[in-house]
Amino acid sequence: MVLAYLRRIGSLHTNPVYRFAHEYSVGRRNYSARGSTLEQAVAAFRSVVGEDGVSLGTAVRDQHGRDESMHRCCPPDVVVWPCSVEEVSALAKICYQHQLPIIPFGTGTGLEGGVGAVKGGVCFNLGKMDCILDLHQEDFDVTVEPGVTRKALNASLRDTGLWFPVDPGADASLCGMVATSASGTNAVRYGTMRENVLNLEVVLADGTVIHTAGRGRRPRKTSAGYNLTNLFVGSEGTLGLLTKATLRLSGIPEAVVSAVCSFPSVQAAVDSTVQLLQAGVPIARIEFLDDVMMDACRCYSSLPYVVAPTLFLEFHGSKSSLEEQVTVAEDITRGNAGSDFSWARDAETRERLWKARHDAWYAALALRPGCKAYSTDVCVPISNLPQVVVETKRDLMQNHLTGPIAGHVGDGNFHCLMVLDPNDADEVQRVHQFTERLARRALALDGTCTGEHGIGLGKKALLCEEVGPQTIKVMHSLKAAMDPANLMNPGKVL
Amino acid sequence: MAARVLVGVKRVIDYAVKVRVKPDNTGVVTDGVKHSMNPFCEIAVEEAVKLKEKQLVKEVVAVSCGPQQVQETIRTALAMGADRGIHVEVSGKDYDALGPLQVSKIMAALAKKEEANLIILGKQAIDDDCNQTGQMTAALLDWPQGTFASEVVLEGDKLKVVREVDGGLETVKLDMPAVVTADLRLNTPRYATLPNIMKAKKKKISVVKPGDLGVDVASRLEVLRVEEPPQRKAGVKVETVEDLVSKLKEGGRI
């Protein structure tokens, strides 16, 4: 299927036969190649986590070799389930002794193939470590283990008036979100993972356990030493296993108002966004859907949407401040030829207004039943967003690709939901080339090739283009210093 | 026009917790375990607060029976918008044995004392799944009841309740005063926000004992034993369809 992505792993022909042959030998990584080493290691694993904590089953390994991206499955040789940081450390030591790759696994909901065991090795499923520790309500912080997902945390916090606002699409493991430096629809107000992690407990490749800000420490700010916490945010499992994260919480908004507005052009929508931010409106969410997406939503839900570039807005605050925010927003959108500005306060009407945005993924899939969808992810300075979106739409049309656009326009981040037939090799190739052009277009406009999903397997070359040779060298040095044997999630990021 | 709504809220083990049976099989482990408001009670509170926001009722009173800790649950109801709370103090062995019959007697007594026109309860608690308190309360008061409500509309001095029943939806019209029990789809309860939690600290919770209400909480039920459900046995693989059929016949399944 995703022959286009195989090219990243090694330079391969697009010949289907070649692809199958390669997949057979790499995908089913030879167990016997290092058979006795693995046997010894597995015996040692069993003594740490017991029989139930280790699996060699094919189905289990396959499950742990894939995430929600379109990268093909790369199963590990063995999967282990540690229940404590001591067990993680002991298992890592064994892997280090036997020089086995270590692949951390949270919820398997990544979008860039981060869990693929391209060199085989040991998958550490951290899901059994699922405690919420140390909630400090007055300090707005909480510490969680890797098995805790964002929805589970927020459900547990619901009586405290606090929440963790970073909300990527999936119900992902919070430590996994740290590893990919995830973001969500309200980053414009609450920030991404980079701004919301106070401390991390990390197990390095040789089993050493460190606390990036010191054990148990959680000051809101610090000037102490190198910022190791943020070194691990976005490291995608290539520098260490994250076994605890201390997160910054926010107060649940007192009241919420949602609004929708259509515009005659992408430029008008983005201009409104810039002006809203400049006006100091503490807007919580600004989501953009292009006309193709609005048309897809109109067909999917049979609601009379205006088929035009549309902004979906959400405001958080006290009841009185919301009045003011909405008035300012309405003035600004009107000034940019916005029309059909509608807003709502109560939960049911807000749901209806935002329905298109929530259904976007499914509406896109419904455009071509039987096809799969892949989400691109680039981010540029907001002022460059109209240019990159207009050029991208032209690219899509010229190459006959289906790619409705949805974006977090307040951050300059947008996704083309590419709908494609995975069995049509030509289309797969064209989509792959399109995403490369898109990434390069974003880089040319002072942006990044990935706003939220990470580098993973597929964007390593783009990362080099993005940061340049000298900076990449520094990244390599850091990696070599922390993981000289390249055991931590090899084949990703660098 | 209904003036006062009584809402019952129960403190239960949080739905996300893995419940464990005590080693002596007398009950489940509750020490050190996270507790929160019964989810159906949250829905009941939300409905009462919505009625107050529509100005159809004047006051929402949250009631809970149990030891000191249930005041946390009442505070959550206050943070959601209830006006004041009543803590009916029951502790120790009495609390372990507290069940729907005693609670419904307490609710009935309070309804008379507080001159309530409407009682809203959750349809059942997630720890005992009894689904009895609402019905018993209505019977003791000789009030009409609208249970498993998925929609409640106050029309003058009558209450229209849409009930979720096995065959679909049933709409009934009740004279007030009445008892309603909330089902899952009645509403989506609001989260308690920090400013509201702060305000709730200043709202009043009065404490009463069951004796003050003339209620005897002695239980007529004795719990003999609590056990975990039997462990799931491994399945048996068979080689052929004939084997499958004979095994099913052996087991009396066909």
Q: Which residues contact A398 (CB under 8 A, 6 or more apart)?
A: none
| Global ipTM | 0.84
- Report chain B residues whose CB lies below 8 A from the CB of A346: none
Per the CB < 8 Å rule, is B193 touching A158? no
CA-nearest residue of chain A to B50? Answer: A346
Q: State percent of chain A over pLDDT 90.
A: 78
Per the CB < 8 Å rule, is A251 touching B37? no
* CATH of A2-125 among 3.20.20.105, 3.90.1580.10, 3.40.50.300, 3.30.43.10: 3.30.43.10
Which of the residue ranges A9-18, A86-95, A166-175, B32-41 would you say has the lowest mean pLDDT?
A9-18
pLDDT at B1: 54
Q: How far apart are CA A196 and CA A28, in angstroms?
A: 39
pLDDT band at A9 (very low <50, low <70, confident <90, very high): very low
Question: Tens of pLDDT along A79-126?
Answer: 999 999 999 999 999 999 999 999 999 999 999 999 999 999 999 999
Is the pLDDT at A4 greater than 80, yes or no? no
pLDDT at A7: 41
Which of the residue ranges A476-480, B107-111, B249-253 would you say has the lowest mean pLDDT?
B249-253
Instruction: Find the largest Cα–Cα distance for chain A.
Output: 72
Chain B neighbours among A 430-489 (CB < 8 Å)? Answer: none
Instruction: Find the largest Cα–Cα distance for chain B.
Output: 72
- Report chain A residues whose CB lies below 8 A from the CB of B191: 158, 161, 163, 252
User: pTM of the entire structure?
Assistant: 0.88
Q: How far apart are CA B46 and CA B52, in angstroms?
A: 10
Confirm or reject contact between A163 and chain B (CB < 8 A).
yes
According to CATH, what is the number of the domain A132-251?
3.30.465.10
Average pLDDT of every residue of chain A: 90
Would you call the peptide bond into B177 cis, given omega within 30 degrees of 0 as the criterion?
yes
pLDDT at B182: 98
Is the pLDDT at B162 greater than 50, yes or no? yes
Across residues A445-468, what is the average pLDDT? 95
pLDDT at A27: 43
Across residues A332-336, what is the average pLDDT? 94
Residue A161 near residue B196 (C-beta atoms within 8 A): yes
Chain A neighbours among B 16-35 (CB < 8 Å)? Answer: 16, 34
pLDDT band at B2 (very low <50, low <70, confident <90, very high): low
Across residues B221-234, what is the average pLDDT? 91
Per the CB < 8 Å rule, is B193 touching A347? no
pLDDT band at A359 (very low <50, low <70, confident <90, very high): confident
Q: State percent of chain B over pLDDT 90.
A: 87
* CATH of A253-454 among 3.90.1150.10, 1.20.120.1750, 3.40.190.10, 3.40.462.10: 3.40.462.10
Helix axes A385-398, A266-278, angle to 10 degrees: 160
Residue A116 near residue A163 (C-beta atoms within 8 A): no
Q: How far apart are CA A247 and CA A3, in angstroms?
A: 39
Across residues B148-158, what is the average pLDDT? 93
Q: State percent of chain A over pLDDT 70.
A: 93
Residue A478 near residue A231 (C-beta atoms within 8 A): yes
pLDDT at A211: 97
Annotated domain spans of chain A: 2-125, 132-251, 253-454
According to CATH, what is the number of the domain B4-251?
3.40.50.620
Q: Which residues contact A188 (CB under 8 A, 6 or more apart)?
A: A277, A283, A284, A285, A286, A408, A410, A411
Beta strands in B9-58 (DSSP E): 11-13, 35-37
Across residues A27-50, what is the average pLDDT? 78
- Report chain B residues whose CB lies below 8 A from the CB of A347: 188
Question: Tens of pLDDT along A183-223?
Answer: 989 999 999 999 999 999 999 999 999 999 999 999 999 99
Give the CA radius of gyration of chain B.
21
Is the pLDDT at A459 greater than 90, yes or no? yes
pLDDT at A34: 65
A&B contacts, CB < 8 Å: 38
Question: A152: distance to nearest CA of chain B, Å?
Answer: 8
| The amino acid at A429 | Q
Per the CB < 8 Å rule, is B193 touching A161? yes
Is the pLDDT at A14 greater than 50, yes or no? no
pLDDT band at A355 (very low <50, low <70, confident <90, very high): confident
CA-nearest residue of chain A to B72? Answer: A159
Question: Tens of pLDDT along A227-269?
Answer: 999 999 999 999 999 999 999 999 999 999 999 999 999 889 9
pLDDT band at A304 (very low <50, low <70, confident <90, very high): confident
Of residues A394, A485, A395, A480, the one with CA closest to residue A437: A395
> Which among B16, B192, B196 has the least Cβ separation from residue A152?
B16
- Count of residues in chain B: 254
Per the CB < 8 Å rule, is B76 touching A347? no
Question: A17: distance to nearest CA of chain B, Å?
Answer: 36
pLDDT band at A350 (very low <50, low <70, confident <90, very high): confident
Confirm or reject contact between B36 and chain A (CB < 8 A).
yes
| DSSP code per residue over A239-301 | S-EEEEEEEE-EEPPSEEEEEEEE-SSHHHHHHHHHHHHHTT--EEEEEEE-HHHHHHHHHHH
pLDDT at A361: 87
